Amino acid sequence: NAGVTQTPKFQVLKTGQSMTLQCAQDMNHNSMYWYRQDPGMGLRLIYYSASEGTTDKGEVPNGYNVSRLNKREFSLRLESAAPSQTSVYFCASSPLRSSGNTIYFGEGSWLTVV
């Protein structure tokens, strides 16, 4: 059982380049998320998707776009990377329930923008 899988695990980009982080879950969860984690800042929500075809902004959406391709996949795109986007990115998923909701994380993607 793979859970939440995200690729790539490591990436170095030059300022201005674009890239897409891929994420897939095999738990049949409705909700999917992208977080970034920076030292001292904790996990900050970039975008989330409550269901296929819907996406909503989180706390720090600027500079990112997302796409919920189907129930399994949720991608994060950096159109023009900036050094401020150097971070660890986590994809996550959860069943959409009014109670008992829990969030499960992928292994993370380490992105460096130079």
Least gap, CB of 77 to other proteins (angstroms): 21
Cα–Cα distance measured from residue 80 to residue 61, given in angstroms and rounded to the nearest whole number: 14
Cα–Cα distance measured from residue 101 to residue 91, given in angstroms and rounded to the nearest whole number: 16
Paired tokens of 71: 């129930």
Pairing of strands 109-113, 10-13: parallel
Q: Pick from 2, 5, 4, 21: which is nearest to 85 by CA?
A: 21
The residues in 21-40 that bind other proteins, with binding defined as CB under 8 A, are 31, 33, 35, 40
Least gap, CB of 88 to other proteins (angstroms): 9
- The residue within the footprint of other proteins, chosen from 48, 76, 87, 93 (CB under 8 A), is 48
Per CB under 8 A, does 64 bind other proteins? no
List of residues contacting other proteins (CB under 8 A): 31, 33, 35, 40-45, 48, 50, 58, 90, 94, 96-108
